[in-house]
């Protein structure tokens, strides 16, 4: 694929990311994607022969990879699991505040809509969340957690953060995210100190 084709594909994914996060899966149509990106219909089906679901899956995976890259970079810079939670909280809070509380987690909107009805997109969302959980669990293991404990604690932390994004969106306040961060840090600290006794 040439440079122009790559640019068109990237534009389609970027436009889809923007629309599904603002409007959700069901609120976003392919005509809207084409209008927002200026891409020809033929290009859409050339790059995404599976149609809307394939395009949305690509958008979800790319969005999830950006967050994973951010967490991986923070870990490489020496952040422990608590530092990763703090960073994730700030990323979600900044996105919410910048967007007037319409955008928080780039995966959650679609995940809530389709998890029970669309297996390919459910799997794409699960892949993203699993990746984030693995990064956090890796940092917990590096910090002294046994692997099984790290996996559970990372899942609990992620669940608290994702739930807080939803509450923050509904309440138009970052307070639920700050509360969740406190709860996660307390949870991780309590589990760590409990093993050291």
Q: What's the average pLDDT block by block, 10 residues per block, for the chain (197 residues)?
A: 84 96 93 95 94 97 96 93 91 93 92 94 97 96 94 95 95 95 86 44
Give Cα separations from 98 to 12, 77, 103, 172 (angstroms): 23, 26, 8, 12
Q: Provide the token pair at 15.
A: 């436009």
Q: How many residues does the chain have?
A: 197
In this structure, the number of other CB atoms found within 10 A of the CB of residue 125 comes to 23
Give Cα separations from 135 to 75, 80, 128 (angstroms): 8, 11, 11
Q: Which domains does the chain have, with CATH numbers?
A: 54-196 (1.10.357.10)
Whole-angstrom Cα distance, residue 114 to residue 122?
Answer: 6
């Amino acid at each position: 694929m040439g440079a122009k084709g790559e640019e068109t594909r990237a534009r389609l994914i970027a436009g889809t990311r923007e629309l599904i996060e603002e409007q959700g899966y069901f609120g976003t149509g392919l005509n809207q994607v084409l209008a927002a990106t200026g891409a020809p219909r033929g290009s859409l089906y050339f790059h995404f022969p599976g149609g809307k679901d394939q395009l949305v899956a690509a958008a979800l995976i790319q969005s999830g990879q950006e967050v994973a890259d951010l967490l991986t970079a923070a870990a490489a810079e020496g952040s422990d699991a608590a530092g990763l939670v703090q960073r994730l909280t700030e990323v979600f809070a900044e996105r919410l505040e910048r967007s007037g509380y319409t955008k928080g987690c780039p995966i959650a909107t679609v995940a809530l809509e389709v998890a029970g009805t669309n297996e390919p997109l459910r799997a794409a969302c699960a892949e993203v969340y699993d990746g984030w959980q693995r990064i956090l669990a890796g940092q917990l293991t590096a910090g002294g957690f046994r692997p099984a404990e790290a996996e559970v604690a990372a899942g609990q932390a992620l669940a608290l953060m994702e739930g807080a994004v939803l509450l923050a969106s509904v309440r138009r306040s970052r307070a639920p995210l700050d509360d969740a961060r406190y709860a996660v840090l307390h949870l991780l600290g309590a589990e760590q100190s409990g093993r050291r006794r």
